[in-house]
């Protein structure tokens, strides 16, 4: 069997086109969605992300505000900037690029962002709202994975889903979203016993572990849908968390790396910025961008 490839790059491009159309409609009402991205320090990977975020923000017709601060910026200076962005009516979304320098308290910084502008969905209020089924801002990567799964499978109700990884950015919110769609959800992690056997029961397998080609072909249930969240830089280039060769022989469908989940994350950041803009202005949620 040769698995179908879930083309996240093409899906993300269509999503950005839909977002651009809705941004144009808002322009007719004198509203321009604005996204502020804050980057501390010189981490090369983060610089690349921030640059492409800025470019794509402008491409869909939104305003992009970039704030680059030195690595040794004090936490108070960062909190002061966040306060200014919270109060700025031209800014509808605020993203502080993680990881932060070690002298910062990440929780304190994230929770200083007003929840309505928290387009990452990391604020404790948004985490709680998602967990209790209230209207939340939803983290971008899991939101992108959910969109791909729904597009490929239709209803997720009753399907066995295994999420490998328990991070606050991907694993936990992914599990919440799958649960909201009535999947039967298991979160696996580094202490899980007999992970291969657990994975073999999964109709939906989401890998978010950050280890290259960690999930082997014989861990996959024949016909399963496999979502690979990994972006691992190796000597062979970008590699996912799933062994590509193995998955392509066993899975029903899987997301490639690159060109799968990665492009969906930035598209969902733009989707969240549009959603935040609509909510701030008291408009209905844009169609098809929220779970």
Residues recognised as catalytic: 53, 97, 120
Question: What's the DSSP call for residue 101?
Answer: P
* Distance (Å) of CA 4 to CA 9, 237, 254: 15, 22, 7
Beta strand ranges found along the chain (DSSP E): 4-5, 34-40, 63-69, 93-96, 160-164, 184-188, 204-207, 225-228, 232-234, 237-239, 253-254
Contact window for ligand GUN (CB under 6 A) among 15-23, 76-84, 96-104, 153-161? 96-104
Q: In angstroms, give the least distance from the CB of 195 to ligand GUN.
A: 24
What is the closest distance, in whole angstroms, from the C-beta atom of residue 2 to ligand GUN in the complex? 32
- What crossing angle do the helices spanning 140-153 and 171-180 adopt, rounded to 10°? 40
* Cβ-based nearer residue to ligand GUN, 120 or 241: 120
| Residue 255 interacts with ligand GUN (CB under 6 A): yes or no | no
99 exposed, middle or buried (CB, 10 Å; 0-12, 13-18, 19+)? exposed
Tokens of residue 238, six digits: 């970008």
Applying CB under 6 A, the span of 91-99, 124-132, 220-228, 243-251 interacting with ligand GUN comes to 91-99
Q: Closest approach of Cβ 119 to ligand GUN, in Å?
A: 9
Toward ligand GUN, which CB reaches closer, 62 or 96? Answer: 96
Binding mask 162-201 for ligand GUN (x = CB under 6 A): -------x--------------------------------
Choosing from 53, 114, 120, 205, the residue that interacts with ligand GUN (CB under 6 A) is 120
Please, which residue, 22 or 97, has the CB nearer to ligand GUN?
97
- CB closer to ligand GUN out of 104 and 220: 104
Q: Does 96 bind ligand GUN (CB under 6 A)?
A: yes
The stretch among 4-12, 92-100, 177-185, 221-229 that binds ligand GUN (CB under 6 A) is: 92-100
Neighbours of 150 (CB within 10 A): 14
Choice between 85 and 169, CB closer to ligand GUN: 169
Q: Does 98 bind ligand GUN (CB under 6 A)?
A: yes
CB 233 within 8 A of CB 257: no
The b-or-e profile of 21-35 (16+ CB within 10 A means b, else e) is: ebbeebeeeebebbb
Residue length of the chain: 291
97 binds ligand GUN (CB under 6 A): yes
Sign of the CA dihedral with 97 first, then 99, 102, and 106 last: positive
How far apart CA 261 and CA 231 sit, in angstroms, is 9
Residue 95 as a binder of ligand GUN (CB under 6 A): the answer is yes
Region near ligand GUN per CB under 6 A, out of 1-9, 50-58, 90-98, 252-260: 90-98
User: If binding is defined by CB under 6 A, does position 35 make contact with ligand GUN?
Assistant: no
Interface residues toward ligand GUN, by CB under 6 A: 95-98, 120, 140-141, 169
């Amino acid at each position: 069997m040769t698995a179908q490839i879930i083309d996240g790059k093409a899906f993300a491009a269509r999503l950005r086109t839909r977002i651009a159309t809705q941004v144009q409609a808002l322009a007719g009402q004198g509203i321009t969605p604005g996204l502020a991205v804050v980057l501390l320090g010189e981490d090369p990977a983060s610089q690349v992300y921030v640059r492409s975020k800025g470019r794509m923000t402008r491409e869909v017709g939104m305003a992009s505000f970039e704030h680059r601060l030195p690595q040794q910026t004090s936490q108070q200076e960062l909190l002061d900037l966040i306060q200014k962005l919270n109060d700025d009516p031209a800014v509808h979304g605020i993203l502080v690029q993680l990881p932060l320098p070690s002298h910062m308290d990440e929780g304190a910084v994230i929770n200083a962002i007003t929840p309505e502008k928290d387009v990452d969905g990391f604020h404790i209020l948004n985490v709680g709202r998602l967990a209790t089924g209230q209207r939340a801002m939803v983290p971008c990567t899991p939101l992108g994975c959910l969109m791909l799964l729904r597009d490929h499978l239709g209803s997720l109700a009753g399907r066995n889903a295994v999420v490998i990884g328990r991070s606050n950015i991907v694993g936990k919110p992914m599990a919440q979203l799958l649960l909201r769609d009535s999947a039967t959800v298991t979160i696996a992690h580094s202490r899980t016993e007999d992970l291969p056997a657990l994975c073999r029961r999964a109709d939906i397998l989401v890998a978010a572990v950050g280890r290259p080609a960690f999930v082997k072909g014989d861990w996959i249930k024949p016909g399963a849908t496999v979502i690979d969240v990994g972006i691992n830089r190796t000597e062979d280039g970008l590699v996912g968390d799933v062994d590509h060769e193995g998955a392509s022989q066993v899975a029903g469908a899987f997301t490639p790396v690159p060109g799968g989940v990665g492009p969906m994350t930035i598209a969902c950041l733009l989707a969240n910025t549009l959603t935040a803009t609509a909510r701030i202005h008291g408009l209905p949620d844009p169609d098809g961008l929220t779970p």
